[in-house]
Structure formats: structure tokens, C-alpha cells
Structure 1
Amino acid sequence: MTMLLLDRDFVLRRLTVEVCIPLVRQAMIDLSAGRTLQPLRSVVHLAKGRAFGVMPGAMAAEDAVFGAKLVSVYPENFAQGRPSHQGAIAVFDSQDGTLAALVDAGEVTRIRTACASAAATDALARPDSSRLAVLGYGEQAEAHVEAMAAVRPLREVRVWGRSPERAQDFADRVGAHLGLAISACADVEAAVRDADIICTTTAAADPILYSDWVPDGAHVNAVGSSYAGPVEIAADLVARSRFIADYHPGVLAQGAEFLAAKATGHVDDSHVVGEIGQVFAGDLAGRQDEAQVTLYKSLGHVVQDLASAAWLVQTARETGEGTVVAF
């Protein structure tokens, strides 16, 4: 038997935001329509804030892809020049059940997470949105700036992080790379003031974003916390927002900001109005008026990984790229 190996460089070259946004958009439509199979992820919490995640799933059609993502999360790696997420997406052949491919999981996770936020932003943010605030300066922050620029014409980008020096470095480096005017802000309130789109991509354990700082009409992508525990967004902002999940059962079980707001009595389960896939499909209203604050809670789901990995495998086979190994 043979298996295809697709490394980080291949993923980076081929899985552009223009390719990935429609892939994850359709994956979330399929998820909400019941055309996928996925249990909630399993997370093993390791020392020093590290984690190991296992995410199995399948597209429900008889001949569709199935597999699992195995990924380690080492937050300190980014400061040392290494990916914080490392691992593999195992893609199985739906015809005979063989292991068909292993795809670099770190790069797929980086791109598909930002592209899922971009798809949600395109559906929920005001059409004239042009001011972006990004909280955090890691891999997801950079990926989110690029992805947001693909769905809205950005004329101003602000970034905040706990280290002013690293925030300024991010502003200079990413601004030059993407051709955008990016400024570093001294505090969160200054970064989000007058923002149309806000992306939280930090490893914060406690809230850093509060309702009083967020202007009417803003759209928020809550991304940094991917399991029950760390909370980036305060309960008052959760309660104020039109709260849309990527996956309803996942947010009820693992959406830290929602769970914290529920625990303090700010909201109940009905506050999660539905899933982003329903909005994409036209089955659920997204933004209801110009002044409403919309919030998309991203936990990330294996259907996004599988959709991306399946496209990459198909592309590699068509172009003769990748490494074929016997086993």
C-alpha cells in the first residue's frame, strides 16, 4: 500500500485564502445540514498550558472523505519560530478504508481557522466595514488580517498584544507583507474603538474585551479560546451580542465565553441563536440591523480540516506533487 505525504510547504503554497474560504463555508453548511459526522473533540491538557487534541469526523456521503486530525498545541513555540499547532490530518480512502494521506495539520489549522472567520465576517459584518482590530500577534492574528482583507476592503488595521514591542513588530512586518496600514495600540480599548470588525486571537485566560469598548454595529470573531476554560470576551459582551456558533453542541459544551456568561446568569442556552452554516445556507438571519453587535464563536471543527485536506490531496494527485511512501 502507498500513502501520500503533504508537508507544510505544499499546504502553504496551495491552500490560499481564496481557495479555503469557499471550502470551509461549504463544510459548515454541510455540518449544519447534518451531512457530516463528528463527535466533540477530545483534548488532553498537558503541563504549561499545552494540549493534545484528537478530532475525528466524516463527510456523511457514502463516497466522501473521513479521517482525523491529531494535533499538539504548544503556545510558546511561536515566540521560538516554530508553529504552535503541530500534527497531521489522516485522510482515509472511502472506497477501501486504507490510509490515503497524511497532511500537515499545523498549516491547515492556521489557514482554515482564519478563513472560517472570514466567511463568517462576510455573512455577518456590515458591507461597508473597513476598520479591523486584531487582538493578539501570533499565527492566527496574521492569518486573520490576510483573510479579513479577502472579504472586506480594509483601510485601517489596529493590533494589540501584551508586548508593545512584539505588537509593533507585527504591525511593521505584516503591514509590509500584505500592503496594509497597520498600527500597534497600547491597550485593547484603543484598538477596538470605532472598529467594524474585531478578531480575538489570544491565549488570554481571563476576559480582555468588554462590551463598553465595542461600538454599535461591530462584528466580533472570538477565536483564541478553543475549549472550556480560557475566556477572551467578557460576559457583558456575550449578552449584548447576536451570538452565533460554528457548531451548536460544541459551543454548549466547550465554548468558554458562552459558558462563563451562562454561569453568571447573563445568558441561557437560548442565547445561542444558531450556527453559522445555517446563516450561510439562508436558513437563519445573520445581522438584523446596522447597530447590532454580531459575534461568531469559533471552536474549529474537523469538517473544516477534512474539506481542506481532501482538496489538497486531490490537487496533489492531479499535479503529481507530494511524497508517496510505501507502508
Structure 2
Amino acid sequence: MRVYSADEVHAALPWPPLARALEAAFVAGAEAPVRHAHALSEQDTLLLMPAWNPQVIVLKLVTVIPGAAATVRAAVLVCDRRSGEALAVLDGEALTLRRTAATSALAAQRLARADARTLLVVGSGRLAGWMARAHAALRPGLQRVLVWGRRAAPAQALAQALAAQGLPAGATDDLEGATRGADIVCCATTSTEPLVRGAWLAPGAHLDLVGGFKPDMREVDDDAVARSRIVVDTYAGALKEAGDLVQPLQRGVITREQVAAELAELLRGLHPGRLGPSDITLFKSVGTAVEDLAAAQLVVCPRRR
């Protein structure tokens, strides 16, 4: 059985092939039960995310242990679907970072305006840089990447790192002004209070929300959600776990019908996504094991896809 390090996983998942693999997986469909959550104690949690297709079985195991040196750790097991043989174990953090960012960039290809030139990344944590890299890789016309964070130093450090890698990146301390001038606003935070206001969004803007994964987490306010054409990665996950949708739905700010499509429907051509240049679009992702399946299969058996 092969073990893939984080560096090996990143190297095996260049952005365009990964985006193509994700699109194919969403279009084809796969068995992906809603993730299992098990309380190990009052503080510690075990998450299990399985998915399978006719070729492989993938299981991602995630531990969330706040008292540990690294709060969240993950590993991905890949088995042959026909024989059940264990083929590989992959670094779970690297795979999650890569597939999360690529899924959002893939959705933005359908939902953001074709002439989008300015990307604002809200957040400066572990995921934020990968979001910027993925969007830039799948949108060659991007001319500006702005990074905003609650603390100036990490935002500046991330912007400098992205610039050193060839992205047109810089930090900003003006969230409202940056939002008003952005074509794509990507939020990758763990905020429980709205950061981006709907009143700040320019006509034609695209919101990419990936940070919140629990009902009490918010990255944008109700006005931003109400103004948007909404697409989710999956109905099952987003309508249960995404506070940016769950809260306004519970208060009647939006209706269930305003959550227009899930990503598979968009990619299959069953939903048009953006209807006009002034539409504000919103993609909300909480993650699905279909993404883990597509990425892991690309790493372990690229010739069998």
C-alpha cells in the first residue's frame, strides 16, 4: 500500500486536471453518504466521509481535537472497488485544501462574469492562499488579487507569498472598499458574525463562501444572501450545515426555492447559473466526499479515470 505525503498530493493535483476530474465526478455522480460525526468526548470529534464509484472506494477520516498541537488532522484511505484491496493512504489536509479550492474555482467558471478581473480573498488562514491560487489558475484573465484579514500582518504575509509565486497580489485593510471593487469575493474564514455586507456588493459580483461549515457560522449578512442567485455544492450538506443559508432560511429572509441549484445540476446543464451581467451569484460550499473521491482517484490511479 502506497503512502502519499502532502507534497506528493499537491504535486499530483495540478489545477486544470483536478478541475476536470471534479467536473466529471459531479456530472457522473457517485455514492456519497452525508458525513458521519462521532463525539469522542465533549470536545473531541471524529468525522468519517465515505464515497465510492465503480472503480474506487474512498474514506476520509478527520479528527478534531482542540487540545492537540494540531486541532484538525485528516487522512484519506483509497481501496479498489472490485477487490476491496487497500491501495493508498493520502495526506488528508493537502487533498482537502486542493479539492476545496478547485471546486470553488470550477463553480466560479460558471457563475462569475467572464470579464471578472479582481479577486478579493477574505481571510488569511491556511485555506485562503489555496483559494487564491485556484481561482487564478482557472481564470487567466485575473488582474488583481486582494487579501484582507482581521489582523494585518498575516494578510500582508499571505499577499507577499502569493506575489512571490507570480500572482498580482496585495493586502488591503479596507474590506468595504475592496468588496465594492471586487468581481469575485472569496470568503475563507471561521467567522460567526457576518463580515461582508450585501450593500457593498457591486452588480455582477460573485460570492464564493467556503469558510463556514456549521449553522452558527456566518461570513456574509442576510442582505448579501437575499440579493444573490444561490448555488450550493450539495443540498444535503449546505442546507443542513451552512449558517449563511440556514439562518436566513429559518428567519424567512429567503425561501428554499431561492437556493436554485446544486453544483452537479449546474455542471450537467440543468440550471443556467448566471442569467445576466448584473446578477449577483453565490456559491456556498461545505464540502462533499464526491470531491475527495475525484481528487484521490486522480492521485492514485489517474489512468483508470
TM-score range, shorter chain: over 0.9
Shift of 1:122: 0.6
Number of the residue aligned with 1:323: none
The answer on 1:265 being equivalent to 2:252 is yes
The answer on 1:228 being equivalent to 2:215 is yes
Which stretch shows the higher mean deviation, 205-214 or 49-58? 49-58
Which stretch shows the higher mean deviation, 111-120 or 301-310? 301-310
Shift of 1:202: 0.6
Structure 2 residue corresponding to 1:72, chosen from 47, 63, 82? 63
The whole-number CA distance in structure 1 between the counterparts of 2:256 and 2:248 is: 10
Structure 2 residue corresponding to 1:189, chosen from 165, 170, 176? 176
Shift of 1:42: 2.5
The answer on 1:174 being equivalent to 2:149 is no
Structure 2 residue identity aligned to 1:159: V
Number of the residue aligned with 1:277: 264
The 5-angstrom pairing of residues 22-41 of structure 1 reads: 22-30=20-28, 35-41=29-35
Shift of 1:85: 4.7
Structure 2 residue corresponding to 1:201, chosen from 188, 199, 208? 188
Structure 2 residue identity aligned to 1:22: R
| 8 Å Cα contact 1:216-1:293 kept in structure 2 | yes
Distance change (3 Å), C-alpha of 1:168 and 1:74 = farther
Structure 2 residue corresponding to 1:147, chosen from 110, 134, 141? 134
RMSD: 2.3
Instruction: Give the TM-score normalised by structure 2.
Output: 0.92
| 8 Å Cα contact 2:12-2:298 kept in structure 1 | no
Distance change (3 Å), C-alpha of 1:208 and 1:316 = same
SS in 2 for 1:249: helix
The whole-number CA distance in structure 2 between the counterparts of 1:199 and 1:112 is: 15
* 1:90-114: CA deviation from partner (whole Å, max 9, x where unpaired): 1111112222221111100000100
Structure 2 residue corresponding to 1:137, chosen from 124, 135, 154? 124
The answer on 1:121 being equivalent to 2:108 is yes
Shift of 1:39: 1.6
Shift of 1:211: 0.2
Structure 1 residue identity aligned to 2:78: V
The whole-number CA distance in structure 2 between the counterparts of 1:4 and 1:116 is: 26
The whole-number CA distance in structure 1 between the counterparts of 2:93 and 2:182 is: 29
Distance change (3 Å), C-alpha of 1:228 and 1:27 = farther
Distance change (3 Å), C-alpha of 1:4 and 1:56 = same
Shift of 1:229: 2.4
Shift of 1:145: 0.9
Which stretch shows the higher mean deviation, 86-95 or 37-46? 37-46
* 1:260-307: CA deviation from partner (whole Å, max 9, x where unpaired): 111221012111111112111111111011001000111111111111
Number of the residue aligned with 1:219: 206
Distance change (3 Å), C-alpha of 1:45 and 1:207 = farther
| 8 Å Cα contact 1:67-1:89 kept in structure 2 | yes
Number of the residue aligned with 2:232: 245
SS in 1 for 2:107: helix
Shift of 1:209: 1.1
The whole-number CA distance in structure 1 between the counterparts of 2:60 and 2:292 is: 7
Number of the residue aligned with 2:48: 54
The whole-number CA distance in structure 2 between the counterparts of 1:239 and 1:75 is: 35
Structure 2 residue identity aligned to 1:163: R
| 8 Å Cα contact 1:28-1:246 kept in structure 2 | no
The answer on 1:294 being equivalent to 2:281 is yes
The whole-number CA distance in structure 1 between the counterparts of 2:279 and 2:33 is: 33
Distance change (3 Å), C-alpha of 1:52 and 1:186 = farther
Structure 1 residue corresponding to 2:14, chosen from 13, 16, 40? 16
Unaligned runs of 5+ in 1: 318-327
Structure 2 residue corresponding to 1:106, chosen from 69, 84, 93? 93
Alignment length, in residue pairs? Answer: 303
The whole-number CA distance in structure 2 between the counterparts of 1:186 and 1:314 is: 44
Number of the residue aligned with 1:322: none
The whole-number CA distance in structure 2 between the counterparts of 1:45 and 1:143 is: 30
SS in 1 for 2:266: helix
SS in 1 for 2:301: helix
The answer on 1:156 being equivalent to 2:163 is no
Sequence identity percentage = 33
Instruction: Give the TM-score normalised by structure 1.
Output: 0.86
SS in 2 for 1:173: helix
SS in 1 for 2:61: strand
The whole-number CA distance in structure 2 between the counterparts of 1:116 and 1:85 is: 21
Shift of 1:44: 4.7
Number of the residue aligned with 2:81: 94
| 8 Å Cα contact 2:15-2:138 kept in structure 1 | no
* 1:20-39: CA deviation from partner (whole Å, max 9, x where unpaired): 11111222223xxxx31122
